[in-house]
Amino acid sequence: MSTVSRLPGIVTTDHVFQVPLDHSAPDGEQIEVYAREVVACGREKDALPWLVFLQGGPGGKAARPLGRDAWLDRALDDYRVLLLDQRGTGRSTPATRQTLARRGGPQEQADYLAHFRADSIVRDAELIRHRLLGADKRWSVLGQSFGGFCTLTYLSFAPEGLTEAFITGGLSGLGSSADDVYRAAYPRVVSKNEDHYARFPQDVETVRRIAAHLADSPATLPGGGLLTVEAFQSLGLMLGGGSGSGSLHYLLEEAWAEGPAGAELSDTFLAGVQARLSFAEGPLYAVLHESIYGQRSVNEGGTGWSAERVRKEFPQFDARASLESGTPVLFTGEMIYPWMFDTDPALRPLKETADLLAARTDWPDLYDPARLAANTVPVVAAVYHDDMYVDTADSLATARAVRGLRPWITNEWEHDGLRVSGGKVLDRLIKMAHGEV
């Protein structure tokens, strides 16, 4: 029986759906997918159109609303919203080091997780649409970041389920390999580093001092993880958000404490780093990250730890060489590296599983270029010109490849514009879709 809850300005209803692990074998193993229905107070019985939200990630659960907050406030003016915990996340059947261990060894775990990509997420959504709305009714979709990738998959394989589509920071390259993605990403990350150091020049020396310390003596994080110099560099993931540079600066400025033997990394700093680097709450982000680019027509040899391989083409990210040469130590970005499965306790048991997924060569294609070229679903997309996570050139090429897609190109917001704009990004897209701008 569904549970109904009331929070300031909203009414939520819990839904749990049984879906096939493998949609090509509908009578086989079943897993659960959870979704939270949200409607504005007083409108519970109104015949509102539905908007399903596809969260960024991969491996990210939907937001937990405390009221009419962020973009949800604007959405509830027009829609009944469904916040989907994509398979493996949140209250859906979880996929973590604890639960995956019950499935057997690394090969069994990798075979299981092969069903957790965008194609399966879209088929889950279609099954849920049929059960909630009926087969003859459509809904709208809002895809943020990886959720935008999923939206393109939705438009490729089940456009008959959609009234309209909104995409924010998630127009992926339809034919871009993982190597293409990272080869384009590293220079953008260099630019974000330059912007950060221009804004906070005092951080150049602070970062060099921390990196030098960690190069000699890796630190133990409160959760048992190991903070190496490479792990420290991965804090650069923060630089892709609108307030990320400032947040990184404030984290760095409390890095040191005077202990009995002199200066040491402070507990405050290490706790802050732990909160940023641990994958305990979302291990699928690391395990499946490169697989979201896997398509047999594009990556014939699999993804093969692409971020690690391509990094060698950009020696400016070698922290030890930077320390020797006296140049700024650069942070990395949205990259997953195999060593993370050694340094993070939440990932260590999944190391062999991740290796098998990286070596997998038979990933089905996620996009249908011919069907996208003939698209009839209204699509609008926010393309953030300075997006660190998604390449603008890829996004614009995809915008041209999807018939009828209207892009809004802006540098007013970063990748997290949907979340931090107070509804302005979504409002603009809704008005675009409805012909108001």
pTM: 0.96
Rounded Cα distance between 96 and 93, Å, is 10
User: What's the pLDDT score for residue 1?
Assistant: 56
Determine contact, residues 392/407, Cβ cutoff 8 Å: no
User: What's the pLDDT score for residue 301?
Assistant: 84
Rounded Cα distance between 397 and 402, Å, is 9
User: What's the pLDDT score for residue 437?
Assistant: 87
Rounded Cα distance between 71 and 417, Å, is 10
Return the bridge partners of 143, or none: 54, 167
- Among the listed residues 92, 120, 140, 145, the single catalytic one is 145
Strand boundaries in 274-367, DSSP class E: none
Q: Is 145 a catalytic residue?
A: yes
Burial 342-353 (b: 16+ CB within 10 A, else e): ebbebbebbbeb
Rounded Cα distance between 209 and 194, Å, is 18
Strand boundaries in 260-317, DSSP class E: 262-265
Q: Is 179 a catalytic residue?
A: no
- Among the listed residues 46, 136, 216, 362, the single catalytic one is 362
Angle at 308 between CA 302 and CA 310, to 5 degrees: 80
- Among the listed residues 415, 416, 421, 427, the single catalytic one is 415
Q: What is the DSSP track for 50-83?
A: EEEEE-SSSSPPPP--SSS-HHHHHHTTT-EEEE
Determine contact, residues 27/34, Cβ cutoff 8 Å: no
Rounded Cα distance between 343 and 221, Å, is 10
- 3-state SS assignment for residue 369: helix
Distance of CA 253 to the CA centre of its chain: 28
Rounded Cα distance between 10 and 232, Å, is 40
Enter the tokens of residue 95: 């996929």
Q: Is 124 a catalytic residue?
A: no
Enter the tokens of residue 178: 């993982």
Please, what are the averages of pLDDT over each run of 10 residues along the chain (437 residues)? 90 97 97 98 96 96 94 97 98 96 97 98 98 96 98 98 98 96 97 98 98 97 97 97 96 96 95 97 96 92 95 98 97 97 97 97 96 98 96 97 97 95 96 93
Element (H, E) at 383: strand 379-384
Element (H, E) at 245: helix 244-252
**Residue extent(s) of CATH 3.40.50.1820 domains in the chain:** 4-174+367-433
Enter the tokens of residue 4: 């109904």
Q: What is the DSSP track for 185-197?
A: HHHHHHHHHHHHH
User: What's the pLDDT score for residue 63?
Assistant: 93
Alpha helices in 77-200 (DSSP H): 97-100, 106-113, 118-133, 146-157, 178-199
Element (H, E) at 400: helix 392-401
What CATH fold (topology level) applies to the domain 4-174+367-433? Rossmann fold (3.40.50)
